[in-house]
Amino acid sequence: MTNKDCECNHNDDTNNEHCNGEGKHDGCGCGCGHDHDHDHDHEAVVTFENEDGTTEDHPIIDEFEYNDNTYLLILNDDQSVTPLRVVGEEGNLDFLEEDEFNEVSKAYSTLEEDDLEISEE
């Protein structure tokens, strides 16, 4: 399905069922949770700026709620995963202290196990 009025750079063979014809996406599935204009040829990432001014992109692999907070899981270069807390309306990200890191990691593992059990039923 191709929408000729779309401004979001879909290829003709791309399934753009979320495109509303105005270059906007409603629940586009990119994992960002927002309706916005963008190109689907990328994944959602967090960009960190190092002290020397260089930047590093880390893919966001999941987002979840726990204890009235929203957390993002990002993939590190070594294939490990780091949870970050989303703070404020602007979506700033905070690194977690060790205790919170351990608690959130355990909670996420439990959520994943529950999701697997539900999907297997």
Query: Higher confidence at residue 15 or residue 104?
Result: 104
Res 42: pLDDT: 54
72 lies in the same domain as 98: yes
Share of the chain above pLDDT 90, in %: 51
Residue 81: C-alpha distances to residues 13, 28, 59, 66, 96 (Å): 33, 24, 10, 17, 13
Res 81: pLDDT: 92
Task: Determine the structural domain holding residue 70 and report its residue range.
Answer: 45-120
pLDDT over threshold 90, residue 57: yes
26 lies in the same domain as 68: no
Q: Are strands 45-49 and 92-94 parallel, antiparallel or unpaired?
A: unpaired
* Residue 63 · residue 70 · CB < 8 Å: yes
pLDDT over threshold 80, residue 71: yes
54 lies in the same domain as 32: no
52 lies in the same domain as 111: yes
34 lies in the same domain as 80: no
71 lies in the same domain as 100: yes
pTM metric for this prediction: 0.59
57 lies in the same domain as 94: yes
60 lies in the same domain as 96: yes
